Amino acid sequence: FGLSLLNIPEPLGGLSEERSAVTGVLVAEALSHGDMGQAVACLAPSAVATAISLWGTEGQQQTYLPSFTEGDVPAAALVVAEPVPMFDPLDLTTVARRVEGGYVLNGLKSGAVRGAEAELLVIAADVEGRGPSMVIVESSTDGVAVAADPGMGLRAAGLSRIQLTDVRVDEDAILGSPEDYRTMIRLSRLAWAGLALGTAKSVLEYVKEYVVTREAFGEPIAYRQAVAFTVADMAIELEGMRLVTLKAASRAERGSDFAREAALARRLSTEYGMKIGTDGVQMLGGHGFVKEHPVERWYRDLRAVGVMEGAVLI
């Protein structure tokens, strides 16, 4: 419940006097320290509440935000991704065609967190006359069909596909402007970078303990230079990821342009997050490949950072 209140202003029923992107990153990092999939499932409703509080009209805020601030938070999903190769969030195949009194949506979305339970969806679509934008869709609307879409990681997130077939929405279902949509993509990527920090930290802490307790040839494997240097590199890479991500979040919080920093945070968290996961599996050897140890799960979860769009938001 409290997660949904973090980025909702006090006048709208939330907790924040001022929205803090840095706090959002720190929360994502803390929640993912152990299970990124569970963290994503917890943060998904907060992403929708944050988007509506940031870019919603007064009518949208009055209609939807009370559900997120009154204790019984509904399942909700911010859905951007589509099951196409080399997906670009600015080149969407899901379209919203203008009709009298509103729009009609058609397309297929993927990576919807807890999609089977979600009551409220914020869908990324190419809106006629506007370009890529966010559209509020209630899951009970005719033409919305949900199917399970399990991935190699994020098992606890309950990922789903959403088929939109002639889904009719009103004019006031459009959320924010096309520029707000681009900002949402950047803030979402910072949230994924925060999730990568917590999961990579889990890998590092587990490996540090393992290499000093696991013995081979009469001594801990941590005494081998190759092992010690690899663990040191993991710590250096994690610190670099954290500094760049927090710098981007700090600029976002101040209202400064943070496009460059967000791109760097995504690149580093994708590349080095995956490398830390790979090195973690390698340091455990055969133990890294079996479910007896959690490193293989963290490795699979970290792969999501470079391919997921939307879903979470700081």
Same domain (yes/no): 61, 167:
no
pLDDT at 185: 97
Residues 302 and 184 in one domain: yes
Is residue 213 situated within a structural domain? yes
Q: Is there a single domain that holds both residue 219 and residue 111?
A: no
Average pLDDT value for the chain: 93
Kindly report which listed range (30-44, 70-84, 185-199, 273-287) carries the lowest average pLDDT score: 70-84
Residue 314 lies in a domain: no
DSSP 285: G
pLDDT in tens, 278-310: 999 999 999 999 999 999 999 999 999 999 999
pLDDT band at 2 (very low <50, low <70, confident <90, very high): low
Angle, alpha carbons 68-73-77 (nearest 5°) = 85
Q: Is there a contact between 98 and 68 (Cβ–Cβ < 8 Å)?
A: no
In a shared domain, residues 166 and 254:
no
Last residue of a domain, one of 55, 75, 95: 75
- The angle subtended at Cα 35 by Cα 297 and Cα 266, nearest 5°, is 85
CATH number at residue 220: 1.20.140.10
Q: CATH number of the domain that 132 lies in?
A: 2.40.110.10
Do residue 293 and residue 217 come from a single domain?
Answer: yes
> For position 20, which CATH number holds?
1.10.540.10
| Residues 189 and 174 grouped into a single domain | no
- Same domain assignment for residues 217 and 131: no
Average pLDDT over residues 168-177: 95
Distance between CA atoms of residues 312 and 91, nearest Å: 20
Residue 18 — very low, low, confident or very high, per pLDDT cuts 50/70/90? confident
Q: Does 258 reside within a domain?
A: yes
- Domain membership of residue 313 (yes or no) is no
Arithmetic mean of pLDDT, 202-210: 97
pLDDT tens digits, 110-120:
999 999 999 99
Identify whether residues 185 and 299 lie together within a single domain.
Answer: yes
Q: Are residues 133 and 192 in the same domain?
A: no
Where is the domain boundary, 27, 59, 75?
Answer: 75
Enclosing H/E stretch for 184: helix 178-213
Residues 152 and 201 in one domain: no
Q: Taking the model in full, what pTM does it have?
A: 0.94
Residue 311 resides in a domain: no
pLDDT > 70: percent of the chain: 98
Residue 37 domain flag: yes
In a domain, 210, yes or no: yes
Residue 189 and residue 296 share a domain? yes
What is the mean pLDDT of the segment spanning 108-129? 95
**Domain boundaries, position 197:** 179-306
Beta bridge partners of 167: 105
State which of 75, 104, 128 marks the end of a domain. Answer: 75
11 band by pLDDT with thresholds 50, 70 and 90:
confident
Same domain, 299 and 190: yes
Query: What does the pLDDT read at residue 74?
Result: 87
Long-range contacts of 65-68 (CB under 8 A, 24+ apart): 65/8, 65/12, 65/13, 65/14, 66/13, 67/120, 68/4, 68/5, 68/8
Counted domains in the chain? 3
Residue 312 in any domain: the answer is no
Q: CA separation (Å) from 192 to 14, 168, 169, 302?
A: 23, 31, 30, 10
Binned at pLDDT 50, 70 and 90, residue 19 comes out as: confident
